[in-house]
Structure 1
Amino acid sequence: MRENIEDYRQLFLNTVPLMDVRAPVEFDKGAFPAAINRPLMNDDERKQVGTCYKHSGQQAAIDLGNRLVCGDIKEQRIAQWADFARKHPDGYLYCFRGGLRSQIVQQWLAEAGIDYPRVVGGYKAMRRYLIDSLEATLQNCPLYIVAGLTGTGKTEVIHALSNSLDLEGHAHHRGSSFGRHATAQPVQIDFENALAIEALRVREAGHGQLVLEDEGRMVGSCTVPLDLYQTMQTAPLIWLEDSFDNRVGRILGDYVIDMHAEFAMLHPDQPEIAFNAFSEHLSGGLLRIRKRLGGERYQILQTIMQQALDVQQATGDVQAHRGWIEGLLTHYYDPMYAYQRSGKDERVVFRGDQPAVVEFLQQQAIDNQYKA
């Protein structure tokens, strides 16, 4: 039998399969990227056992749990755990603290002829490890921040580097009024866990610095961890430049072509429903900045957008969307960035187009390598 494990670092670095035996409500509040929920108790059973524990103590709670999870229910859950164990012979199981629930699952699996190890300390210890590891990274690893006007391709720079953290990718949001995707964002804890794991892997690869995209504290509904955000506010800036036409084309690709494709994938056999959802998505993005645009300019851009949507639906041509994108850049995003940059100029250490910025940051990474 493989030993129970307490080496959380290797679990995360190697994306080891994890069987989370907590209740679904616990799992939904936060888990790890490699974890699959196979609960010992469902939410109602957990609630009953918790109430019993509070009023009558541990043994009474254990007895109640055995009465609630017995017979066919017990056999079904053991079958689910056994299936996971067979599919993931290199995996581990865990509960909240690595205590009673995971030990019961281990015992029942063993009685079924399957020895399967658990994570010592459980979810709570793994979560604490990730929080501490991100804090340690920030203390020992300098940051570079890629900044620039909307549409210059900052995310493309992040993806081109092996020592970057993709805030928008982990938040599943592009960080603007139009930044939502067709599917939901992760919960806050899942976002934080994914960031910490990526930072751990960057450090393990021997990098002595991290590169992030310039973001506000909120990326959609996800909040950048406070220590990380505060460090970003004083880090050197790399200013990315590109032409106005290229920026319009990139936004057209991201917010129109790619987003329509996302909704089409959600509704593969219902193109009209997919297009209506996509249209509502664009209209909602514009509506969210109506006050900042002003009523008259909002109406102008909303009319251009609707005309572009009509043309797209009728012919498939998306080029008419350039009109409202150009208007947003000229009258909203560029002035906003100019205002925000006014207090950051002294932090800019390099300016250039995408190839130049990537080359500069890659050279900085080489110069700042360390042995993990």
Structure 2
Amino acid sequence: MTVQVAQVKIEEVNFDQDLFIDVRSPGEFAEFRLPNAINVPLFSNEERAQVGTVFKRNSREEAIELGLALYAPKMEYFYKRIKDLQTEMPNRRIVVYCFRGGLRSRTIAGTIGLLGVDCVQLEGGIRSFRKYIQEGLEQEAQIQREYLVLSGHTGTRKTEILNQLQNKGYPVIDLENLAGHRGSIFGYIGVQPNSQKQFDYLLLKRLKQLEQSPYVIIEGESKRLGRVILPDFLLEGKQIGERLELHYPFWARVEHVYQTYDPIKYKGEIQEGIDKITKYLSYELKEEMKVLLDREDYKGVFAKLLEGYYDPRYAHKFSSYKSQATELEFETLDEGVEKVITYIEHYKTMIKK
């Protein structure tokens, strides 16, 4: 007895209602996945590498035989796991996918289908989703929208202000949050970085949510956030957009950086970050930093980094903007949020004219 595996195209799935079962390895799943997908891997990372090696060195047939040998002992687990998910979410269609909609997802869909669990296979696998995202971003790049750019030196609480604005319903695109990286040499500390593919999906999702807004609010980021490269249309929007330059007291910035990166908890990571930029520091600054690090005076370390490295680099970047900035000074986060909101409300009346 055989089961005909039904397929659906990426345009036919419902990202909110369908139950996506990703049968790729845990490593593939961690890099990029469909929304709210559940990983039920056919192979472990090591098993996938083993099958791939046999495919390359020997033949497709031997790789398939090895794959079946690895899969056979797991059949009962797959059936019970997916059956349990169906029981938990009985009103959701099960969509099984792998990398390109090939043997892995067809094997699982066929097996559980034969055992009475209704499901469909995603045609083209995760590759079709990637293509869908790329085409969506290309379409977004053609849309005319205004950009309000929050810029300022490192430690000026831009991310916290953006978070509060978004919570209040303003059309914020929090690029650092989407990338899982804060942008500086320490930006990966305490967060989970996203891959380029996952970032692109999250960005497209946010842009779709804001499609009725005539403007968006972004932070004045550089082209790269960790492993992620921002699309050209956002970089162009940053260059020509209305700019709000935030000014926060120097020692308040130092305190904020200290609290954000928690050098007591992440001492090793802080040292690793400093090592990466040592070649860009003057001899005098390196010597001062060495003394401060030996004393574990991390507030002093961050102050020196702001003064001797980050602030001069920002001054250079500031001069490259094509638009003039409106200056905004504040002493506390609440004051900063209030002043930014006042400015946004004025800005909204201007773009309507």
- TM-score range, shorter-chain basis? 0.7 to 0.9
Aligned residues: 330
**Alignment deviations for residues 115-140 of structure 1 (CA, whole Å, 9 cap, x no partner):** 12443443122111112222222321
Tell me the secondary structure at the aligned position of residue 142 of structure 2: helix
Matches within 5 A, 1:91-240: 91-98=94-101, 100-140=103-143, 141-162=145-166, 163-182=171-190, 185-203=193-211, 206-240=212-246
Query: What CA distance in whole angstroms lies between the structure 2 residues aligned with 1:100 and 1:219?
Result: 36
**Alignment deviations for residues 101-128 of structure 1 (CA, whole Å, 9 cap, x no partner):** 4343222212222212443443122111
Normalized per residue, the structure richer in helix is 1
In structure 2, give the amino acid aligned to 1:305.
Answer: L
Question: Counterpart in 2 of 1:351?
Answer: 327
| 1:20 pairs with one of 5, 8, 22 | 22
| 1:337 pairs with one of 295, 309, 314 | 314
Query: What CA distance in whole angstroms lies between the structure 2 residues aligned with 1:84 and 1:351?
Result: 54
Larger mean Cα displacement after TM superposition, 43-52 or 234-243: 43-52
Cα 1:66–1:82 shift into 2, 3 Å: farther
In structure 2, give the amino acid aligned to 1:127.
Answer: R
The answer on whether the counterparts of 1:145 and 1:238 sit within 8 Å (CA) in structure 2 is yes
Cα deviation, residue 183, structure 1: 5.7
The answer on whether the counterparts of 1:144 and 1:210 sit within 8 Å (CA) in structure 2 is yes
The answer on whether the counterparts of 1:33 and 1:190 sit within 8 Å (CA) in structure 2 is no
Considering only aligned residues, what root-mean-square deviation do their CA atoms show, in Å?
3.4
Question: Counterpart in 2 of 1:82?
Answer: 83
In structure 2, give the amino acid aligned to 1:361.
Answer: I
In structure 2, give the amino acid aligned to 1:294.
Answer: S
Question: Counterpart in 2 of 1:32?
Answer: 34
The alignment's TM-score, normalised by the length of structure 2, stands at 0.78
The answer on whether the counterparts of 1:144 and 1:211 sit within 8 Å (CA) in structure 2 is yes
The answer on whether the counterparts of 1:240 and 1:357 sit within 8 Å (CA) in structure 2 is no
**Alignment deviations for residues 241-268 of structure 1 (CA, whole Å, 9 cap, x no partner):** 2222322222222123xx64xx4xxxxx
In structure 1, give the amino acid aligned to 2:204.
Answer: A
The answer on whether the counterparts of 2:239 and 2:323 sit within 8 Å (CA) in structure 1 is no
Cα 1:10–1:237 shift into 2, 3 Å: farther
**Alignment deviations for residues 201-246 of structure 1 (CA, whole Å, 9 cap, x no partner):** 333xx32332221122221232223443344333332212222232
Query: What CA distance in whole angstroms lies between the structure 1 residues aligned with 2:19 and 2:350?
Result: 35
Query: What CA distance in whole angstroms lies between the structure 2 residues aligned with 1:243 and 1:331?
Result: 16
Matches within 5 A, 1:208-357: 208-256=214-262, 260=264, 263=265, 278-307=266-295, 309=296, 321-344=298-321, 346-353=322-329, 354=336, 355-357=338-340
Cα 1:226–1:99 shift into 2, 3 Å: same
Query: What CA distance in whole angstroms lies between the structure 2 residues aligned with 1:251 and 1:63?
Result: 52
The alignment's TM-score, normalised by the length of structure 1, stands at 0.74
Cα 1:5–1:144 shift into 2, 3 Å: farther
